Structure 1
């Protein structure tokens, strides 16, 4: 049994923490808001009242927070993670933040004699519930080897992708690809509808060929029914594509489809869809063609 601090039991973090509890570990869960605290209660772990309480005596601390400022505040604050952990223990940040922000987390951890990994995840809420996430890890290989068994409770694919910050670079690429898959699926459905095709059967055959993808498998039901209850909110995908755009500019790259995807996701958000699942790109594709889900 490992003593674990878990900070951020949100849509993704709650099932991740619950899986660690189910694996027999002593998990102390901290949520900042009332809603997050309620989610913490449902993990089966010990709900604590502060970051310090979550980190005190923990062998490993996991953070799963919505953005870079939230991570930096939680990690470097006066009573934050770095100030509360025992030297030599391990901090694993599962949040999706900018590579530069991740390097700041690594630096703060190193200054406090902590070992640190950036380990963002992909797979959505369903993957988190099933313990089937893909986890891309930046940092020291030996540290990853030490905590790998814990990560494998939460993820089916755990891969070391390079030095500190590398996990966030790979996650940015992941978020770009997911947005592209979602948009192409949305446009394919509009195309199929316009030609009177049987949509479920069409997606069955597309899914069995080269056009098949995890996005098609996991998001087809939401698009076919128009149920955009969030598994991953548009607001978060918009934030992630902002990270991609910043990194693209920083390297002087020309990636035209990346700019288009950023604009499309931002358009859904601007139309009041910030709280919807990112499958709501289908709603925008329909709207651009004068259609509705119910037509």
Structure 2
């Protein structure tokens, strides 16, 4: 199995590392100081996206947003310039479902295949190979790519045709974002009422309000430690994708829109590069408790 891996940020680095440690050949593009160790593990550095692609069976993208994916695929020295017929592009970024379908058409026009395969599970899941991977694309192509995806994730589901993976990821981000906002409001209420947040969390974890968000992000909120696992800026981007999709489908997502606006306000407070659980800090700043 030969792989081109493009995008070596917080998530991409450990994902590429897992592929390398499994013994596969990996051509790495966008190598920076933090990802240079991948070359010591046997990765090959490619100066451009096009340089990474020749003679590879799979091209994996893990990039921040739709414009970056489009640029890497179709810009100067892009993937499309060197993509061979029969290869598979696997976009694991979280981007627009509409753009995803357009990108797939252009890739398929040169004889290659396309899967959208966004992930959930954060940096910890990427390091441990336990990511949930939501895949859109033809079933035969999914089956062919499954051994590679299994090196990076555990819960791997083909949701439907191209674009379905991105729709599923947007749904995931809506649920996560709104749950973070709900826990933030609940904690703000409890703290303003003078109740110990640690005990509130312990009590709620034993009831119907229990969730991974309450467990993990609730602890971050209590400790006031918001080192980024997934940034507020990126989550705001995902909720914007959701609201854009809602407009195109002519449906109402009122609480998603409201949470996106709260994230806008948090970014205005300088919290964009903090973990998305820092939404609690933004809400707390508007309603400070005496002694905060």
**What TM-score, normalized to structure 2?**
0.94
Native 8 Å contact 1:109 1:115 kept in 2 = yes
Aligned to 2:262: 264
Which one of 138, 147, 154 corresponds to residue 136 of structure 2?
A: 138
For the Cα contact (< 8 Å) 1:137–1:160, is it kept in 2? yes
Cα distance per residue 1:29-83 (max 9 Å; x no partner): 111xxxx522331333333222122212111110001111110010112421122
1:244 pairs with 2:242: yes
1:4 aligns with 2:7: no
Q: For structure 1, which segment, 148-157 or 189-198, has the greater mean C-alpha deviation from structure 2 after superposition?
A: 189-198
What stretches of structure 1 move > 4 A for 4+ residues in a row?
none
Kindly report which structure 2 residues correspond to 1:116-195, keeping only aligned pairs within 5 A, or say none.
116-195=114-193
Query: Which has the larger displacement, 21-30 or 200-209?
Result: 200-209
Partner of 1:93: 91
Maintained 8 Å contact 1:29/1:40: no
Asked if the contact 2:191–2:289 (Cα under 8 Å) also holds between the matched residues in 1, the reply is no
Moved more, 221-230 or 167-176: 221-230
| Cα contact 1:141–1:160 (8 A) shared by 2 | yes
CA-atom RMSD, angstroms?
1.6
Which residue number in structure 1 is paired with residue 26 of structure 2? 27
Give, in whole Å, the separation in 1 of the partners of 2:178 and 2:244: 18
- State the match for 1:37 in structure 2: 32
Which runs of no fewer than 5 residues in structure 2 stay unpaired? none
CA distance in 1, matches of 2:241, 2:165: 13
Write the distance in 2 (CA, Å) between the matches of 1:147 and 1:55: 16
Q: 1:291 to 1:46 in 2, by over 3 A?
A: farther
3-state SS of the aligned residue for 1:29?
strand
Q: TM-score, normalization: structure 1?
A: 0.93
Secondary structure (helix, strand or coil) at the match of 1:272 reads coil
What SS does the aligned partner of 1:136 have?
strand
